[in-house]
Structure 1
Amino acid sequence: MKIRKFVAVLAASFMVLFTLAGCTPKVTQTKSNNSNAVSANSKEGDIASIRPMNPITLTVYSQLANFQGEQTGWFAKVLLDKFNVKLNIVKDGDGVFATRLESGNLGDIVVFGNDSTDYQTAVKAGALLDWNKDNLLDDYGPYIKAHMQMALEKNKSISGGHIYGFGHDVGSSATEHSAPFYGPFIRWDLYKQLGYPKINTLEDFIPLLEKMQQLAPTSDTGKKTYGVSLFKDWDGNMVMFVKATAALYGWDEFGFGLYNVNTGEYQDALKPGGEYLRMLKFYNTLYQKGLLDPNSMTQTFDDVTQTYKTGGAFFNIFDFMSSAIYNTPDHLKAGKAMMPLVASDQKNVAYGLNMYGGNRVWTIGAKTQYPELCMAIINWLSTPEGVMTNNYGPKGVTWDYDKEGRPILTQLGEKAMSDGNTELPAPYSGKFSDGVDEINNTTWAIDSKNPDAKNGDTYNYKFWETRQSLPVSSIEQDWRDKMGVPNLDQYLVKNNQLAISLGTTYSATPMSNELTTTWNQVKQIIVNGSWKAIYAKSDAEFDSIVKDMTNQAYAHGYEDCIKYQQHEAQIRKSLDDKVRNK
């Protein structure tokens, strides 16, 4: 699942990094024209040794990007100041990977959405740069080499014995988990007005949303309100919102179906009475009751973000599409907020920190003219200052460390985290949100420990020591008083409602060409059929659409896809068991 980064990416002085890592990069000429030759006065150990004299543009092909074009805003300026580099972002789409691969040049920096089919194809085609070639990793990726050994070893194990990169969200510890971003987030102020009715299960939210719509029939902009508003930009093997809602009950997306992170059970998407069809029916019921935004199938991520930001919908399963954007200073001051409301029977998925990294891979294209520069940028993105900058903006402007070495947000940073429209001062022009890193991938997991934080804080600002004593709004305090804890993570732990998806070395087995063709056909059937089912006007029509979707899927080879996925589930469970038994 592509997830627009509700966090960001960047920073750190390379001279310090190379000194700390005990590595001195060699001076090499960039493979470009004379106007971009490196400075003749550059010193070894300094980024100036590979910094072009004139600005250059690197092409970043990212299968996770939601944007295409030149990187803008504060992130662009940070890169220009540090590396004299501009980024041209190329996002994925139908046929993009195949076209770029056929051209022989995927890009300078290449980010894969997973480490299976496309990544493996690129490896076999020789389209990616071996990071050990010419001591590239040693000389220009010292922080990665020193701190991400397990992630590098995983990549080596799935890449024919060579290192071409590492996966996203690398964890600093195998015993910790990321803060959950799944959860039913609802308009808590409206819930309060309704007398805090008890929610036992997912379907109980439907009558609750009906009453909320009656209380607040119009948004901040005067438009009709709905229970939920969806979009299809991130659909993959299934409809994203449908399969992701199953995460409220311990089920993680897994091919054409779901994987129970507690039991290791695999459930195919079209199983009668299964969780995917349950969630599909949930959204259809909302539609039948006038609680689902009718534009859901045609609107974009940005459209939906605007809807939630202005109070146009009351329920969302992601924190970054609900509380993170609705809880602005103005809304909070007015006593309005979106907060998590956990049903009694939930088992919320949260992801265990994975020292092997995830499946979204950072790589470098084999044809780049600037391999050292690409490596140095990825290395910098992996340093504490890089991660902090990427998430929170320029150091000293929106964040810093206090005299005790604890991470802090500046006053401007606090404002930017609650309102992306916050303007940054010169020399950083534009809104904070305009400068968010468009590569849309991470290096370290946000809940990993920050080695530069003297108090042991993680990268996640929500849990920083310096912020725990900050006063909250009356509506946020009302949530805390009602739940008896300061945040969702502590609530789920306290009530034994957390389901941890463990971090392992699992990587999907590459499919045959025949299965890939079948898979793509079935995917379209499931995605298109699911959306038709969401818009069914009656229960009978819903059942008919699901039956037709199921028959078509099986007729096009769905059974072969399920056999593949069942085998994958066995592999994943065996790896989970190894972690549990350690």
Structure 2
Amino acid sequence: MNRFKKFMIFGALSVTLLSGLAACGKSEAEEKKSSKNADGTYEETITIDVFDGLANYMGVQEGWFAKIVKDKFNMELNIIAPNVAGNGETLYQTRTAAGDLGDLIIVDKGQQYNELVQAGLLYDMTKYYPGMKNMARFDEAVQKMNEGTDALYGFPTSVSSIPATSPSEGLEPTFGAYLRWDLYGTQNYPKVDTLEDLLPVIKSMQDENPTNESGKKIYGFSLFSDWDGNMLNAGKQLTTYYGYDESGFVLAKADGSDYQSILDSDSEYIRALKFYFEAKQMGLVDPESTTQNYDTLYAKFQDGQVLFSWWPWLGQAAFNTQTNLNAGKGYMMVPIEDQKIFSYGAEVYGGKQFIGIGSNAEDPERLADFIDWLYSPEGVLANSSQTSGSSGPEGLTWEMKDGEPVLTDFGKKALLDGDANMPSEYGGGTYKDGVSALNINTVLPIDENPENGFSYSYTLWESYQRDNTNPVLEDWSSHMDGAVTTMEYLEKNNQLLVAPGASYVAPEDSAEISTLRNQVKSTIVEYSWKMIFSKDNSEFETLLNEMQKTADGLGYQTVLEFDMENAKAQNEQRVAVSK
């Protein structure tokens, strides 16, 4: 849960741009009088621009979350999403050059935070902070994020009170080899010793199930390019099964025991490309992989057209509806015997993104109130997505019963079946269409709700685990030493490697490093796709050699040295926070 990502393509601002904008400093917004009435309400309706690097929706927020925000703050949210806009880097630079990125800003800590502070594009919230009572619970993380400045420009996200050495995930890890368990079962649950042993298993599954119920062809693997960055995203995902995560052009093991250049011929990344190449030779790779986006891919998972998922929050979220599960169909993790799955430890000082207010915001006080609400129990639950595990609004999707939280009938339809029609008092429409488009967790979903002592995530409730029985889970458990959750199985079998949550932020790229990185990573991604779709082993090896030589000629080693230093510095912080 880049975790969850993870999913932005932003470039560095030029020195000229930064120096030109830095003089802007404070905004006229500081001189505006409070728009809040004595009773805490707001008379005037405003529409705010939300520049959100994680959003997958562009336009005005609609549905039940929009109604909650309108009722509480008399405010509408216009989401500006670089993920959807196409060229996120251009959108970011264009709006920043104009001196107004947005009224509410959700982007990366580190380089982007520093750029916006230097350019005078973030509002100093110091005078409003004493009134932000919900944020006070996470004051240490707030102060840590803003240290080095004489102001308060942003609030960290995914904050938590959980120890840094504990997994940040709930019942499922962020990464894992998830297969259609029902079709895997028809192969008599073959043992998978190592990554490559998945291929003949998936080939047999595809051969026996060539089409889905609507007659569309089924593929073992379906890839997409939206999230490619320093490397092919689909390639990076397989490295996590052996405890690695990316740090620029470096693969760093969670425990600090190994660091790899992604372009080394024996790296886990090149191994992943060979894996997909072999899969393509076997007819397992969807030919539309090079052109489709994530939304198209998600729809294919919903339609049962893909056998393998890198993450539970793709295959399970799309396909494991109650209807399918009760029919004995669904995705579950198939263990690879030699796996050590990478797990993100709970972040002591928050995740990779922050929330800030734009320096030209019309009503910064109202926005500060809104941000503070997002960190309240009510706000955490309302600002939930279907993949976050958060439980949604109390009284709608869940309620307290006999001293414990339980899903309502509506909640079961909305959260487990995938969607439900909203009651009129919530504005109508469907639950799915009305979820928060912010796509950011302010508080880690598995954290404890201080109002009732239970997790925000319904998947961790005893009531859910008692009731969440279905033929797929029962069959999976019977073949997994009686484990009832994936995390339980992984921890019991020592197949999880937790990277302590140090909230490390890498130093920003210099102008030279940024230029070199951009030209090198485009070469790596281009060649990686070509290698997967090579006609034979000879062409694969030729392309690999060309990629390595071309990347070196473009400055790969210079960027690699920089990334290697950062990867090792990150591990030093992980060691420190573990103590």
Fold match by TM threshold 0.5:
yes
- Provide the residue aligned with 1:396 in structure 2: 395
Deviation at 1:106, TM superposition (A): 1.0
Aligned mate of 1:106, from 78, 81, 101: 101
Deviation string 1:44-66 (CA, Å, 9 cap, x unpaired) is: xx3x1xx2x13211100011112
> What is the aligned partner in structure 2 of residue 25 from structure 1?
none
1:64 aligns to 2:54 (yes or no): yes
Decide whether the 8 Å contact of 1:150 with 1:355 is kept in 2: no
CA distance, structure 1, for counterparts of residue 496 and residue 153 of structure 2: 35
Counterpart of 1:461?
A: 458
Quote the offset at 1:102 in angstroms: 0.9
The aligned amino acid for 1:63 is: G
Q: Offset of 1:400 from its aligned partner?
A: 2.8
Change (3 A) 1:464 1:505: same
Q: Which residue matches 1:532?
A: 530
* Whole-angstrom CA distance in 2 between matches of 1:567 and 1:109: 33
Contact preservation (8 Å) 1:30, 1:37: no
Partner of 1:22: none
Q: TM-score, normalised by structure 1?
A: 0.89
8 Å Cα contact 1:148-1:355 kept in structure 2: no
Give the TM-score, by structure 2 length.
0.89
Give the C-alpha shift of residue 443 in structure 1.
0.8
Q: How does 1:225-236 map to 2 (within 5 A)?
A: 225-236=218-229
1:161–1:566 Cα change, 3 Å: farther
Return closer, same or farther for 1:200/1:564 CA change in 2, 3 Å cut-off. same
User: Which residue of 2 is the match for residue 120 of structure 1?
Assistant: 114
Does the 8 A contact of 2:174 with 2:343 survive in 1?
yes
Q: Which moved more, 1:308-317 or 1:433-442?
A: 433-442
1:101-500 aligned within 5 A: 101-112=96-107, 114-132=108-126, 135-139=127-131, 141-144=132-135, 146-157=136-147, 159-174=148-163, 175-179=165-169, 180-391=173-384, 392-404=391-403, 406-427=404-425, 428-454=427-453, 457-483=454-480, 484-500=482-498
Higher mean C-alpha displacement, 199-208 vs 63-72: 63-72
Q: CA deviation at 1:264?
A: 4.5
2:317 is paired with a residue of what secondary structure?
A: helix
* Alpha-carbon separation, structure 1, partners of 2:157 and 2:234: 22
Which amino acid in 2 is paired with 1:127? L
Which amino acid in 2 is paired with 1:481? S
Superposed displacement of residue 168, structure 1: 2.2
Check if 1:97 corresponds to 2:89.
no
Partner of 2:550: 552
- Structure 1 residues 372 and 469, CA gap change in structure 2 (3 angstroms): same
- 1:547 counterpart letter in structure 2: N
The offset of 1:439, in angstroms, is: 1.6
* Structure 1 residue 388, shift from structure 2 partner: 1.5
Secondary structure of the corresponding residue to residue 258 of structure 1: strand
**Aligned partners of 1:320, 1:194: CA distance in 2, in Å?**
25
Q: State the SS of the aligned residue for 1:58.
A: strand
Name 2:18's counterpart in structure 1: none
Q: Determine the C-alpha separation between the residues in 2 that align with 1:137 and 1:84.
A: 21
Residue by residue, what CA displacement relative to the aligned partner does 1:38-84 show, whole Å, maximum 9, x if unpaired? 44xx23xx3x1xx2x13211100011112211111211111111111
- Cα 1:161–1:202 change in 2 (3 A) is farther
1:89-109 C-alpha deviation (Å, 9 max, x unpaired): 111213111111111111111
**Shift in alpha-carbon separation, 1:555–1:61, aligned structure 2, 3 A:** same
Judge conservation of contact 1:71–1:87 (CA < 8 Å) in 2: yes
CA distance, structure 2, for counterparts of residue 267 and residue 131 of structure 1: 41
Residue equivalent to 1:21 = none
Match of 1:54, as an amino acid? E
Q: Which amino acid aligns with 1:160?
A: T
Cα offset, 1:464, TM superposition: 0.7
Find the residue that maps to 1:407 and give its secondary structure. strand
Task: Measure, in 1, the Cα distance between the counterparts of 2:162 and 2:329.
Answer: 37
| Distance in 1 between residues matched to 2:378 and 2:400, nearest whole Å | 11
CA distance change for structure 1 residues 471 and 557 in 2, over 3 Å: closer, same or farther? closer
Aligned length: 539
Structure 1 position 30, deviation (Å) = 9.8
- The CA distance in 2 between the partners of 1:94 and 1:108, in whole Å, is 19
Counterpart position of 1:579: 577
Identical pairs, percent: 37
User: Which amino acid in 2 is paired with 1:163?
Assistant: L
Give the partner amino acid of 2:431: F
1:75 alignment counterpart: 65
SS in 2 for 1:475: helix
Q: Contact 2:35/2:363 (CA < 8 Å) preserved in 1?
A: no
In structure 2, the residue corresponding to 1:221 is in which secondary structure?
A: coil
Match of 2:85 in 1: none
Name the SS for the 2:479 alignment partner: helix
Counterpart position of 2:77: 87
1:360 is matched by which residue type in structure 2? Answer: Q
Asked if 1 retains the 8 angstrom alpha-carbon contact of 2:51 and 2:79, the reply is yes
Deviations 1:122-166 (A, max 9, x none): 11111111221xx11112x2211x211221122123x53433113
Cα RMSD, aligned residues only: 2.0
The whole-number CA distance in structure 2 between the counterparts of 1:517 and 1:137 is 38
Pair 509,310 (structure 1): closer, same or farther in 2 beyond 3 Å: same
Q: CA deviation at 1:453?
A: 2.4
Summarize the Cα distance change of 1:269–1:161 in structure 2 as closer, same or farther, 3 Å threshold.
farther
- Contact 2:175–2:342 (CA<8 Å) still a contact in 1? yes
Q: Which amino acid aligns with 1:177?
A: P
Q: What residue in structure 1 maps to residue 502 of structure 2?
A: 504
| Partner of residue 14, structure 1 | none
Q: 1:385 to 1:403 in 2, by over 3 A?
A: farther
User: What SS is found at the alignment partner of 2:223?
Assistant: coil
- The answer as to whether partners of 2:61 and 2:79 remain within 8 angstroms in 1 is yes
Task: Verify the 8 A CA contact 2:256 2:568 in the aligned structure 1.
Answer: no
Deviation track 1:555-575 (CA, whole Å, cap 9, x = no partner) reads: 111111011011112211211
Once residues 526 and 4 of structure 2 are traced to their aligned partners in structure 1, the CA distance between those partners, rounded to angstroms, is 21
Give the AA of the match of 1:480: S
SS of the counterpart of 2:226?
Answer: coil
Give, in whole Å, the separation in 2 of the partners of 1:423 and 1:239: 38
Shift of 1:446: 1.6
Q: CA deviation at 1:494?
A: 0.2
Letter in 2 for 1:474: P
Aligned-pair distance for 1:204? 0.9
In the alignment, the residues of structure 1 paired with residue 310 and residue 93 of structure 2 have an alpha-carbon distance, to the nearest angstrom, of 34
| Deviation for aligned residue 1:434 | 0.9
Please tell me whether the aligned partners of residues 31 and 369 of structure 1 are also in contact (alpha carbons under 8 angstroms). no
